[in-house]
Amino acid sequence: DPAAVVFDAITAAQARNAELLLVDTAGRLQNKKNLMEELAKIRRIVDKKASDAQVESLLVLDATLGQNGLRQAQVFSEAAKLSGVVLTKLDGSSKGGVALAVVQQLGLPIRFIGAGEGIEDLRPFSSYEFVEALLSG
C-alpha cells in the first residue's frame, strides 16, 4: 500500500529530524479511479501526519499533451491539492501552451521547466522567457 509507505517515510523522517522528504508517485494515470483515490489517501496522510510541514505538491506535466494536459492537471489537483506544475519536454517541438490554461483556469503556478534529460535541464520557470519562446515561433 503506497499510503502506508508514505506514512512510514514520514515517521522515519520525523524521527531523524530530516529537513526534506520527497514522495514520488510516478506512473499515475488520471483515468484510473483507484490510483487517484490512492493519491488522495496519500495526501490525507501527509496533511494529517505532517500537519506543520511546508508541503509542495507538484504535477510533472508533459508539454506535448496539449489540452489533455489541462484535464490531467484538473484531476490531479483535486486528488493531491497541487501547489504547482513542472512542465517537461520543452526541448522538442512543443511550445507548452497548456501552461497558459493551467495557470489561468486552475491558478497553478509553473514552478520549473524541463528541457532535456539531465539535471541541468531542469530550471526555474521564467514567465518572460516562456512568453518570448512561445511568441518567437
Cα–Cα distance for residue pair 84/111, rounded to 1 Å: 6
C-alpha 90: how far from chain center: 16
The helix or strand, by DSSP H or E, that contains position 106, with its residue range, turns out to be helix 98-106
Q: Which range among 31-40, 52-61, 76-85 shows the weakest confidence by mean pLDDT?
A: 31-40
Average pLDDT of the segment spanning 76-87: 93
In order of their start, the domains of the chain are: 1-48 (no CATH), 56-136 (3.40.50.300)
CA–CA dist 135, 114 (Å, integer) = 19
With pLDDT > 70 as the criterion, what percentage of the chain qualifies?
A: 94
Beta-bridged to residue 58, according to DSSP, are: 84
Look at residue 43 in the predicted model and tell me its pLDDT: 96
Q: Categorize the per-residue pLDDT at 68 as very low, low, confident or very high, splitting at 50, 70 and 90.
A: confident
Print burial letters for 32-41: b (CB count within 10 Å at least 16), e (below 16): eeebbebbeb
Overall average pLDDT of the 95-115 stretch = 88
18 CB contacts (<8 Å, ≥6 apart)? 12
Q: What is the mean pLDDT of the chain?
A: 89
